Amino acid sequence: MELSPFYQDLFTSLNRGLLMSIALIVPSAVGGVLIGITAGAVRTYGNRFFRTMANCYAAIFRGTPLVIQLFVLYFGLPNLGIYLTPYLAAVLGFTLCSAAYQSEYVRGALLSIKSGQYLGAQALGFTTFQTIVWIILPQAFRRAIHGCGNEIIYLIKYSSLAFIVTCIELTGAGKTVATEYFRFTEVFSIIGLYYLALVSLAIIILKKIEHRLFIPGFGHH
């Protein structure tokens, strides 16, 4: 059975858009988690200067709309002589925004680790840095993992904002086709299914990671 020209166009565009979406989401998710862990640790254990810096970062990126952040990165930075490609601007914006939220999950998890864990390590001669890296973070990450996963799922959906800085991903690609054929209902329903599939895949991967990291005493299996 041959698809109508509309559907042929639609799926070609959406598949191209999907690849771009994945290219946006994967580095932003990984970068967001890594920067989020660092920022969360600094906000919890840093000295006053670094703690203030990291708190300001989190306050700004959690406190302003992502759209504004993307506008500043893409349309604002050229005023300072910094030109980012649409793709780079989007990835940078997503990473920084996602990391700001991740840092809050990580901070909460770090604060939930009993002080005895810290004392136990200190009593054995661990430095503060070693204690955080080898004892506190591995435990905190296991406690934060559900929140972090939630943020990644959210990231998958707000990655659609990339099209406002002219980076044509899933939503942008679909919107072009929809406008061309004036068939919004079908197009956006199908885009919705694409996102649903992406999120389902992410949930499966996150579950796998959760299983991998499972340790008796950290949640139920």
Partner 1 sequence: MMTDKKPILRVKNITKSFGDVTILNSVSIELAKGDIKILIGPSGGGKSTFLQCINCLVMPDSGEIELDNERIQFTRKQDIYRLRQEVGMIFQDFNLFDHLTALGNITVPLRKVKKMSKKEAEQRARLELEQVGLSDKESLYPAQLSGGQKQRVAIARALAMDPKILLLDEPTSALDPTLIGEVINVIKGLAVKGMTMIMATHQISLIHNLADEILFMEDGRIVEQGPPDALLAAGNKSKSQGFCDLLNELSEVEG
Which whole-number Å values give the CA distances from 139 to 51, 95, 98, 102, in the listed order? 21, 24, 21, 16
Residue 112 binds partner 1 (CB under 8 A): no
Residue 216 binds partner 1 (CB under 8 A): yes
| Residue (115 or 189) nearer to partner 1, CB | 115
Question: Which span (49-57, 61-69, 138-146, 156-164) binds partner 1, by CB under 8 A?
Answer: 138-146
Amino acid letter for position 137:
L
Question: Which span (35-43, 78-86, 127-135, 194-202) binds partner 1, by CB under 8 A?
Answer: 127-135
- Alpha carbon distance 114, 183 (integer Å): 56
What is the closest distance, in whole angstroms, from the C-beta atom of residue 131 to partner 1 in the complex? Answer: 9
| Residue (16 or 142) nearer to partner 1, CB | 142
42-78: burial string, b at 16+ Cβ within 10 Å, e else:
bbbbbeeeeeeebbebbeebeeeebeebbeebbeeee
Residue 50 binds partner 1 (CB under 8 A): no
What is the closest distance, in whole angstroms, from the C-beta atom of residue 175 to partner 1 in the complex? Answer: 46
- For residues 24 and 159, the answer to whether their CB atoms sit within 8 Å is yes
Residue 119 binds partner 1 (CB under 8 A): yes
Question: Which span (33-41, 66-74, 82-90, 122-130) binds partner 1, by CB under 8 A?
Answer: 122-130
What is the closest distance, in whole angstroms, from the C-beta atom of residue 121 to partner 1 in the complex? Answer: 7
Which residues within the stretch 12-41 sit at the binding site for partner 1 (CB under 8 A)?
Answer: none
Which residues within the stretch 168-197 sit at the binding site for partner 1 (CB under 8 A)?
Answer: none
Reported as half-sphere exposure (CB side, CA atoms, 13 A), residue 58 has a value of 25
Member of 134, 166, 179, 193 binding partner 1 (CB under 8 A): 134
> In the structure encoding, which two tokens stand for residue 112, read together?
């939930």
Radius of gyration of the chain (CA): 21
- Alpha carbon distance 154, 64 (integer Å): 16
Contact residues for partner 1, defined by CB under 8 A: 116-117, 119-127, 130, 134-135, 138-139, 142, 215-218
